[in-house]
Amino acid sequence: MNMALRPVTDLKGVGTAMALKLEKLGIHCLQDLLFHLPLRYQDRTRIRAIGALRPGDECVVIGEIKTADVLQGRRRSLLCRVQDGTGTLTLRFFHFNAGQKNALKPGLTIRCFGEARPGPGGLEMVHPEYRKQTEDGLVAVAETLTPVYPMTEGLQQNRVRTLIQQVLDELDDQTIEELLPASLRAQWQLWSLADSLRYLHQPPADADQTLMLEGKHPAQRRLAFEELLAHNLSLQKVRLKTREQGAPALPLHNTLVTQFLAGLPFTPTGAQQRVAAEVAQDMAQPFPMLRLVQGDVGSGKTIVAALAALQAVENGAQAAIMAPTEILAEQHYINFTSWLEPLGLKVAWLVGKLKGKARQEQLASIVDGSANVVVGTHALFQEEVVFKDLGLAVIDEQHRFGVHQRLSLREKGRNGNCAPHQLIMTATPIPRTLTMSAYADLDCSIIDELPPGRTPVNTVLIADTRRNEVIERVRAACAEGRQLYWVCTLIEESEQLQCQAAEVSCEQLRETLPELRIGLVHGRMKSAEKAAVMAQFKAAELDLLVATTVIEVGVDVPNASVMIIENPERLGLAQLHQLRGRVGRGPVESFCVLMYQLPLSQTGKERLAVMRQTTDGFKIAEKDLELRGPGEVLGTRQTGDMQFRIADLQRDGDLLGRVRELAGQMEQFPQQSQQLVWRWLGRGEEYGNV
């Protein structure tokens, strides 16, 4: 059996109780122990002069006890004054027994380790570790820095130290295999695995602790590198597996595509044309396209999807467009119908709410192939849905699906050994570090240009103590003929509460602004009701639309030029950016008012300031990643995704370029590659094992 995978119970002195405690730290086998890295270190390698101690120093001192007194105060304590010729230090014990009290007598020389803190009579150590100095005066200090590990209740630092020590004592290529070939390690100047682990658990006295605290030491970087590499390899494997499947080659014939473009009231931007060409080329290949299209909100991704769909249809295949919400699916359905019906094509539609005969009709048109394009929510991927000949699957607003979800959708779209081409579109730009890690299985295109004639949105921050002023502004804006959104945000992840908040706000606004026509949409309304209200707003029959974050995606009302967002501090920046993208679609100057609740945390202030400073979705995404971490940026649903044991995308993001190159080189070492994936992702949990 692989040594590294031996259970911790194989170690001396580890029984079931201990194993359970270790499990809480995610430690099951010897390898887990080795990857349980110290948080920081203590320096017990040197004796420090008492006179030179500074508050906060954690160190070893040796001195003679001069006085030892029990103080009867509010808390009984034992105080020992210790001198070493350079100064005096007080040792303070609140818990002590008679034996200890008798042992700590004046005249005794002891060695202590603790943190020096300011006390009433100069520096003191509270409950230091101490030991009687050996008779012969020889001082046995530690040879290496002492690791301090992340702990859980009921577990002692010393126990974990001894266990890891035990594993390290046997550490060689047998215990934990070096999986990076020596030639590549030399080329990329990477430490060996064993050296890195040994160094991090037992750093030499002169190790650069500052560097290690920052996680930037070559030994740490080596481990982070390996972990990122394993994730990358896992996704590459998925990619290769998909590539091995065939896909129908769907070359561009420019029949329907040309007709469609001729009918559009505008010409696609240069960026749209470039990305569409990249997609067109992929689809002509006999293996599945796996392409991610990123474009800021309003950059016109739908046109790119439509062009790809038409290319599929030109070749007699079907295309599916999947959106994350019914509202967005509906909007796509309306758009695609208006674009494609004039070309003599049929668009089908499938969402959860569609029931009975209507649903059967849609399903029938999908299976008999009379539907050329099918628009829907994830209802599209249910078993009852059978495509006659699915050539292309477009997944919109991808950031709401995690890696595992995305891969399982891919699996479902598969038909025997033939997979459809896949186009994934994200409304939220994804920071580069994330595209290079979480999306490493995809090719990436970026629409980095907005259609002409957009005016940037002015963003204003106002505390909700000035709510009345904001309401007056709403009144004035409506008097000018503007339409406005009033958005109520999520309250503690509860959709129900969010809807109630929207209802309350709506009532208040109706009372305060009786002259305005105010509508309400929220997630708990029936789809038909929602659609009716949206239609009224679009037709300018409403001045103000009070909404929950359901309007986040897809709503297109160019005349709406002001958005007020209540409690924006509750939302991620990407989501705020999405919401804000609903205004600024017409020719008039637009405003977004972020009405935050006091008090606002420091991070909260920083985040909202970013919204005021920039409208560049990529910058906002980077900042969001920096302030909230990858889990949040990818969406709240996929908490398990992109959780690294050692690597940290912010700290180690600069490694990703090299990781990708090395991943390419690892193709010559398939066995090691597979083992790397198993080591870091586990056998069952590697990507694509769905």
The two structure tokens encoding residue 216? 């930037």
For ligand ADP, give the closer residue by CB, 137 or 265.
265
- Buried-exposed string 225-263: b where 16+ CB fall within 10 A, e elsewhere: bbbbbbbbbbbbbbbeebeeeebbebebeeebbeebbee
Q: DSSP class of residue 451?
A: P
For ligand ADP, give the closer residue by CB, 299 or 638.
299
Of 128, 147, 248, 295, which lies in the binding site for ligand ADP, with binding defined by CB under 6 A?
295
**Does residue 395 touch ligand ADP according to CB under 6 A?**
no
The two structure tokens encoding residue 274? 């470039």
The two structure tokens encoding residue 63? 């001195």
Of 300, 568, 584, 653, which lies in the binding site for ligand ADP, with binding defined by CB under 6 A?
300
Report the alpha-carbon distance of residue 127 to residue 460 in Å, rounded. Answer: 53
Residue 649: Cβ within 10 Å count: 23
Closest contact distance (angstroms) between CB of 304 and ligand ADP is: 8
Which of 508, 456, 518 has its CA nearest to residue 483?
Answer: 518
Choose one: 36-44, 197-205, 298-306, 559-567; the region binding ligand ADP (CB under 6 A): 298-306
**Does residue 369 touch ligand ADP according to CB under 6 A?**
no
Size of the site for ligand ADP (CB under 6 A): 15
Strands (E), 451-580: 457-463, 483-488, 518-521, 544-547, 560-566
Of 266, 360, 508, 613, which lies in the binding site for ligand ADP, with binding defined by CB under 6 A?
266
**Does residue 587 touch ligand ADP according to CB under 6 A?**
no
Report the alpha-carbon distance of residue 495 to residue 26 in Å, rounded. Answer: 33
Residue 350: Cβ within 10 Å count: 26
Of 119, 181, 215, 298, which lies in the binding site for ligand ADP, with binding defined by CB under 6 A?
298
**Does residue 586 touch ligand ADP according to CB under 6 A?**
no
Sign for the CA dihedral angle at 108, 112, 116, 120 comes to negative
Q: What is the DSSP string of 22-39?
A: HHHTT--BHHHHHT---S
Closest contact distance (angstroms) between CB of 332 and ligand ADP is: 9
**Does residue 325 touch ligand ADP according to CB under 6 A?**
no
**Does residue 303 touch ligand ADP according to CB under 6 A?**
yes
**Does residue 556 touch ligand ADP according to CB under 6 A?**
yes
Closest contact distance (angstroms) between CB of 628 and ligand ADP is: 22
Binding mask 447-476 for ligand ADP (x = CB under 6 A): ----x-------------------------
Measure CA 491 to chain center: 21
Report the alpha-carbon distance of residue 315 to residue 252 in Å, rounded. Answer: 8
When CB distances to ligand ADP are compared, the closest residue is: 300
Of 223, 297, 544, 611, which lies in the binding site for ligand ADP, with binding defined by CB under 6 A?
297
Report the alpha-carbon distance of residue 130 to residue 91 in Å, rounded. Answer: 10
Asked if 425 and 406 touch (Cβ cutoff 8 Å), the reply is no
**Does residue 589 touch ligand ADP according to CB under 6 A?**
no
590 pairs with which residues across the strands? Answer: 457
**Does residue 666 touch ligand ADP according to CB under 6 A?**
no
For ligand ADP, give the closer residue by CB, 261 or 521.
261
Say which residues have a Cβ less than 8 Å from residue 141's Cβ, sequence separation at least 6.
44, 45, 46, 47, 60
For ligand ADP, give the closer residue by CB, 194 or 334.
334
**Does residue 268 touch ligand ADP according to CB under 6 A?**
yes
- Could you give phi then psi for residue 84, rounded to 5 degrees? -130, 15
**Does residue 7 touch ligand ADP according to CB under 6 A?**
no
The two structure tokens encoding residue 74? 């509010």
Q: Is 402 left (phi over 0), alpha (psi -120 to 50) or beta?
A: beta
Q: Which of residues 402-421 bind ligand ADP (CB under 6 A)?
A: none
Choose one: 297-305, 587-595, 622-630, 678-686; the region binding ligand ADP (CB under 6 A): 297-305
**Does residue 428 touch ligand ADP according to CB under 6 A?**
no
Closest contact distance (angstroms) between CB of 295 and ligand ADP is: 5
Contact positions toward ligand ADP, by CB under 6 A? 266, 268-269, 272, 295, 297-303, 427, 451, 556
